[in-house]
């Protein structure tokens, strides 16, 4: 092969390898739907705002905004106990959203990163 073609081929191979590694690496930042799903997951059992902050890994400003939005769309509901403490719980509609979200993520992830699929063992080492 000509040296110029080898260099071009090598550069193309490196670009493809870099793209594969970017796709295989977990995202550094979560998208809005990811954060919403984390908040809904945190509220699957009754949770206070502090519990949501910890489980969903969001700050207070984000949690306040999302909780208001999720209540407006009826994905979560409030529960007030006998000591007037407010807790949040995922509604049936919120649980359905969470199931759909998980299903979509499950369908998309293997298609975007085919290297992460479980492979059958080959050879004598089973």
Q: For each of the domains in the chain, give its residue range(s) and CATH number, in order of start.
A: 30-109 (1.10.10.10)
| CA 118 to each of CA 6, 41, 100, 114: distance values in angstroms, whole numbers, following the listed order | 33, 26, 23, 9
Side-chain-facing half-sphere of 93: CA atoms under 13 Å: 8
For residue 6, the model assigns a pLDDT of 64
Q: Is pLDDT at 125 greater than 80 in this prediction?
A: no
Q: Is pLDDT at 116 greater than 50 in this prediction?
A: no
> Residue 104 is inside which H or E element, if any?
helix 92-112
Predicted TM-score (pTM) of this structure: 0.65
How confident is the model over 12-27, as a mean pLDDT?
A: 60
- Nearest Cα residue to 90 out of 54, 30, 37: 37
Q: Is pLDDT at 2 greater than 80 in this prediction?
A: no
């Amino acid at each position: 092969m000509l040296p110029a073609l080898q260099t071009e081929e090598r550069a193309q191979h490196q670009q493809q390898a870099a793209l594969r590694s970017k796709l295989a690496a977990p995202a550094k930042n979560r998208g809005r739907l990811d954060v919403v799903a984390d908040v809904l997951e945190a509220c699957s059992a009754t949770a206070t705002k502090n519990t949501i902050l910890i489980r969903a890994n969001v700050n207070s400003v984000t949690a306040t905004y999302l909780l208001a939005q999720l209540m407006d769309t009826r994905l979560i509901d409030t529960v007030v106990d006998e000591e007037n403490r407010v807790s949040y719980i995922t509604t049936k509609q919120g649980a359905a959203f969470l199931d759909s979200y998980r299903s979509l993520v499950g369908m998309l992830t293997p298609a975007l990163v085919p290297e992460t699929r479980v492979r059958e063992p080959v050879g004598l080492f089973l």
